[in-house]
Chain A
Amino acid sequence: MIAVIDYGMGNLRSIAKALEYAGGEVAVTRDPEVMRKADRFVLPGVGAFGNGMDHLRSFGLIPALEEEILHKKKPFWGICLGMQLLAEKSEEFGEHRGLGWIPAEVKKFSFPGGANLKIPHVGWNTVTFVQEHPVTKGMKNVEYYFVHSYYVVPKEKSLVAGTCTYGVDFAACIARDNLFATQFHPEKSQEAGLKMLRNFCDWRPQITS
């Protein structure tokens, strides 16, 4: 069963329906008991970083998530804000600390040279996958749907599994061990996204560290 974490931030119904369509059994939950029984996790998220962390804390979700994901190494996918929250900190509406599961920071798009690019980065953009990964298997340069003003800057290049360009090259997809995350929305990316969700449902991570 896939636990889609309900922390009051986002399009839970969309991701749950897309996972079911992809063949997964889904529980939208914030119950630690359900999380213990889950065999994989999705942290979705639409919204502001500080709010997201506040909600994870106030619902008391962080200890259970860390137990199941960091210690038991269950497969995990963070989507959009759910990817950004893995970082150590973000500068969205003041500086906020994140979960710190990966060495990374979250920065805002900024085009001072007048690159004439609109912010937020909204719409379909091409992702280049730069690592072989079971979840991205069969995907080449494909377009996915993005909607964000902030992006994750990993401190270690080896975390980057896919890149996208919008004024700068940024990490559209990161992966390490059982952690997988995308800045784009697979549940909103039609067939290209559903295919990745199907791959995720079958994923058995190899733990190296």
Chain B
Amino acid sequence: MLKKRIIPSLLLKDSRMVKTIRFDQYRDTGHPITAARIYDAQRVDELVVLDIFASRENRGIFSDIVAHMSEECFMPLCVGGGIRTIEDIRMLLGRGADKVAINTAAVECDGLIRNASQAFGSSTIVVSIDVRRKENDRYEVFIRGGTEATGLDPVFWAKKAEKLGAGEIFLTSIDRDGTMSGLDIPLIHAVVAAVTIPVIASGGVGTLDDFRIGMEDGGASAVSAASIFHFTDQSPIKVRKYLVDRGVNVRA
């Protein structure tokens, strides 16, 4: 049976690892290669590496870090940040990424997702969607590291991304990012129910039970987290044990 995934995320800023709160207030959390090495030893299911300033600074991702990570980690690596062209994707896959997460350019560059999924296969193309809750309880998709509103509704955009050929959705609540106050379950549930591709839920995990809630109540195929691993004494090993003990379908 297919297992639900536990996916630590690593955010890069100037080739250091950071953690944000609501996409702001950066805290240095160490060296990304060291972190990747530790996660690999802890048998995490996958790693997501996002260069969160690439789009804001109109540059490509730190591909050296990706290459270095892939030399040491024999697990799936999803890489995102600043990807705008088919050539960007080809370069990252060549340097050891297994999947790419595309956010800003998925909204702005017509045809990119369709062309990329035809060139590299849908299962390689992850569309990353950053979402803010608006005052009237509606949601809106933001791009460029959460700095630019798009007017898009996340459910509408996720369905469109699926139609264009995306193989997965990486869904992040900007409001919950770094707050450790729990995942935005209504948002996750709405997107999961709207698409037939897997959804990775992110933003807000603060307790071991948040993983279970995201997987069982939200219906997410995977839950991604960072703060809980950086700032508490919880580890992916403890998460896995907690979930296995409660009958959640994860790798033992």
- Spell out A's residues near B (CB within 8 Å): 8, 10-14, 17-18, 21, 46-48, 51, 81, 92-93, 117-126, 143, 145-149, 165-166, 185, 187-190, 193-194
Which of B3, B98, B119 is in CB contact (< 8 Å) with A14? B98
Best-buried of A8, A117, A122, A187 by chain B (most CB within 10 Å): A122
Contact status A13-B95, CB under 8 Å: yes
Segment 194-212 of B: residues with Cβ below 8 Å from A: 196-199
Contact status B221-A118, CB under 8 Å: yes
Residues on B with beta carbons closer than 8 Å to the beta carbon of A47: 119-121, 124
Contact status B76-A13, CB under 8 Å: no
- Spell out B's residues near A (CB within 8 Å): 1-5, 40, 43, 45-46, 67, 70-71, 74-77, 90, 93-99, 117-124, 167-168, 196-199, 221-222, 251
Best-buried of B74, B198, B222, B251 by chain A (most CB within 10 Å): B74
What's the nearest-Cβ distance from chain B to residue A83, in Å? 13
Main secondary structure, interface of A, reads: mixed
Contact status A18-B1, CB under 8 Å: no
Given A119-B196, A120-B123, A122-B168: A185 and B76 interface contact (C-beta under 8 Å) = yes
- 4 more A-B residue pairs beyond the given contacts A143-B3, A146-B2, A188-B74, with a C-beta to C-beta distance below 8 A: A122-B167, A123-B221, A149-B121, A190-B43
Given A124-B251, A147-B76, A188-B75: A119 and B197 interface contact (C-beta under 8 Å) = yes
Contact status B123-A148, CB under 8 Å: yes
Contact status B74-A125, CB under 8 Å: no
Given A13-B95, A14-B98, A145-B76: A123 and B222 interface contact (C-beta under 8 Å) = yes
Which of B2, B76, B90 is in CB contact (< 8 Å) with A121? B2
What's the nearest-Cβ distance from chain A to residue B192, in Å? 9
- Residue pairs across A and B with Cβ atoms less than 8 A apart, 6 shown, are A47-B119, A123-B2, A123-B4, A143-B251, A187-B74, A190-B75
- How distant is the Cα of A18 from the Cα of B175 in the complex, in angstroms? 39
Which of A14, A81, A149, A194 is in CB contact (< 8 Å) with B122? A149
- How distant is the Cα of A188 from the Cα of B1 in the complex, in angstroms? 18
Contact status B121-A81, CB under 8 Å: yes
What's the nearest-Cβ distance from chain B to residue A61, in Å? 17
Task: Specify the chain A residue showing the minimal Cβ separation from B221.
Answer: A118
Contact status B118-A120, CB under 8 Å: no
Given A47-B119, A47-B120, A190-B74: A165 and B98 interface contact (C-beta under 8 Å) = no
- How distant is the Cα of A18 from the Cα of B75 in the complex, in angstroms? 10
Residues on A with beta carbons closer than 8 Å to the beta carbon of B95: 13
Residues on B with beta carbons closer than 8 Å to the beta carbon of A188: 74-76, 98
Given A119-B197, A149-B167: A190 and B40 interface contact (C-beta under 8 Å) = yes
Contact status A46-B1, CB under 8 Å: no
Given A118-B197, A143-B251: A14 and B121 interface contact (C-beta under 8 Å) = no
- How distant is the Cα of A130 from the Cα of B167 in the complex, in angstroms? 30
Task: Specify the chain B residue showing the minimal Cβ separation from A81.
Answer: B121
Task: Specify the chain A residue showing the minimal Cβ separation from B199.
Answer: A118
Contact status A122-B198, CB under 8 Å: yes
Given A14-B98, A143-B251, A149-B123: A123 and B197 interface contact (C-beta under 8 Å) = no
Contact status A147-B40, CB under 8 Å: no
